[in-house]
Amino acid sequence: MKKLFGECFEHGWGKYKLRGQDEVWLDSDAFCFCVNCSQQAKSDEERVRFLEEAVGYALRGPFLKHQEVWSWLGPVRVCIADGWVYCVKELSRCYERAGKLKEKEDFLRAARVSYPDQMLLQEYLIRHLWEHGRAAEAIDVHTQFVQSLQANAEYDIHKKDMLDRLLASLEEKKQSREEVVILEGRSSFSFLGAASSFSYVGHSENPHDFFLELESHVNTLMLFHMPPLFIGSSDVLSLVKETQIILHREMSMVYQDFPENMSEPRRQFFKKVGKLLAASMMLANIYDVSDRQYRERLPLVSGLVASCWHTLNEGNFAQTHETARQVLPFLQNMVCSTSGTLQQSGAFLLAQVCLLQGLLVYHQGRLQERVGYCHNAVEYAKLSGDTRLEAACYIHLANALCFGIPVSPGREAFLPKALALFQRAVELSQNGGTHFLRAKSLAEYGSALAAAGNEYEANRHRDQAFEIYFGGEISQEPPYLASDFGPGPLTLQTMITWDQLAEHGKKSYYKQVEESYDEFLRLRVQVPERFALEMHNYLTDAVLARGELDRGVYMLTQGYHGAQHLKSTKRLLEVQRIHTRAQEQFPLLKQKTDFVTLGQELALVQVK
């Protein structure tokens, strides 16, 4: 390499890289730059200019399409995929608002040439043609896409079904002015009706007005348009699942459109939506409810449970607890007094409530109580018949046994059972699970294998998780998965894996803990505080273990204040464990006033 390229490359940590690679400007860099500029634009005209430039780069072809999925390449693919979805949504919206219908159509058709397999483009183009009186052309686009799917050796019947339902819903709107529009991927999902005849993509550039509009949209959706669909449906369980995904996508827009410095408006948004939906449920007489009344209230209950995953990630544990408490008796009675898909629907939601309750007591420091909640979640998931949910519940239960029980005494006794549960989750996720669930199960199984000291298998499962997650197609995920996994939690599991292997004597892995964290920071993606703090604590542990005492003590103090802000006893316990171990390993730390003071405060934290 050196003979061929001279000083162009430098070697380090077992790999070569371009010298001064941060100064190399690629199409992918230009694309991301234009997307970022469009998000900060002051007007639609400025936004369109940057979006059109970004699209120009994207239409040159997929990013490194024929390359293998290396660990460095996957995160870049995710960032570009997110930017592309944003471009499709936002440029379509801007063209529509400006009356530039031809430009919108030309853009969608050109994009279909470069990305012929992408569902989002098919749906946007079909919808555009149909809504402007060109139904025959819309049907032609549908037919062409279905034929291309059928010609593929890996024929995905789910994609065909999605487009069939899209056409059926558009026809229904034409006849009754009430439609269901389902959009896949990381786009907006909306149930639309006569009182809300737009797919919500954000009509206000003012953040506070945006939240008010979205709040009104969600409430109208859940209170007026969903109940009639449930009453007449023969497959209530599918509607429950769909409703949760739809509401999750709608509510996730508060992160996509205003990602920075909006934590308090977001918190207030979730609080108001949750209170209105809860008040509208009218659960006073929950023990004398007919099947029809269960159906009428299921959309609200589904929405409330979905909103809990958002309030949990916002760090609003009190509201999450209150909402779970309100829906719990309704769902318990529903499971006991109904049968068929109605009972399965109740069990599907009740399993999620149990998972949420388990996470809440976990953050309160009542670590062993979480195991009981997770056991209940597994049983309800089995009753629901949903194997994806069952796999997720096994992961939570195994995690509670492997990492929730205090290290001394007790965890070693639970580790074999935890490994068996993780193995069961992996098996279930391989049979019908999305790449998202498969990656989650493999990553968490890998960290448990590391806790058991199995270095080879831990690394193998970790590598498989990265390959599957970053190599898979973007898919719609239910909130209990979408809110509990992603680039941040995947990095967290990698950090846990390295940390556990380091504890088994492989001290060089502490360096990889920090490298994993640095790689994640370069993605510039948001991560819920409950995950961010745990990542910070594992990084702190690695820094102190490597002897960087001043930096480590400063980070330890940051972790302490972060845990106080989150009101998480579990995160405080993590800081306490790191403090105790550092004190044993480095006696000189007893001479540092801030370290000693922190130890006195942490001494008050107890496992419940």
| Burial of 475 per CB tally in 10 Å (0-12, 13-18, 19+) | middle
The superfamily in CATH containing domain 9-172 is Tetratricopeptide repeat domain (1.25.40.10)
For residue 8, the 8-state DSSP code is: G
Please tell me the distance from the alpha carbon of residue 361 to that of residue 489, in angstroms, as a whole number.
20
pLDDT of residue 57: 87
Task: For residue 24, give the 3-state DSSP assignment.
Answer: coil
Please tell me the distance from the alpha carbon of residue 535 to that of residue 520, in angstroms, as a whole number.
10
pLDDT of residue 197: 32
Phi, psi values for residue 409, rounded to 5°: -95, 165
Which helix (DSSP H) or strand (DSSP E) does residue 93 occupy? helix 73-97
Q: Please, how many CA atoms are within 13 Å of residue 163, restricted to the half-sphere of its CB?
A: 26
Contacts of residue 552, defined as CB under 8 A and 6 or more positions apart, other chains included, come to 540, 543, 544, 582
Amino acid at 110: A
- Averaged pLDDT in 10-residue chunks for the chain of 608 residues: 55 52 65 84 86 87 60 64 81 85 89 80 82 80 78 60 65 44 31 32 52 61 60 72 73 55 61 58 52 80 87 88 86 88 93 96 90 94 94 95 64 84 93 84 95 93 90 76 89 93 90 90 82 94 93 93 92 92 90 88 72
pLDDT of residue 413: 75
Other CB atoms within 10 Å distance of the CB of residue 3 = 5
In the chain, the percentage of residues whose pLDDT exceeds 90 is 30
> Which DSSP string do the residues of 25-68 spell out, in sequence order?
--HHHHHHHHHHHHHT-SSHHHHHHHHHHHHHHHTT-STTTTS-
pLDDT of residue 540: 95
Q: Choose among 78, 567, 67, 164: nearest CA to 363.
A: 567
Domain residue extents for the chain: 9-172, 206-384
| β-strand pairing of 15-18 with 179-181 | unpaired
pLDDT of residue 208: 58
CA 458 to chain centre: 23
Phi, psi values for residue 433, rounded to 5°: -80, 155
Please tell me the distance from the alpha carbon of residue 490 to that of residue 542, in angstroms, as a whole number.
18
pLDDT of residue 28: 78
* C-alpha dihedral, 473 to 474 to 475 to 477, nearest 10°: 130
pLDDT of residue 426: 94
Please tell me the distance from the alpha carbon of residue 464 to that of residue 69, in angstroms, as a whole number.
10
pLDDT of residue 124: 82
pLDDT of residue 477: 85
Residues in a beta bridge with 181: 190
Please tell me the distance from the alpha carbon of residue 6 to that of residue 277, in angstroms, as a whole number.
66
CA distances to 33, 322, 517 from 461, rounded to whole Å, are: 34, 38, 19
Q: Enter the pTM of the model.
A: 0.66
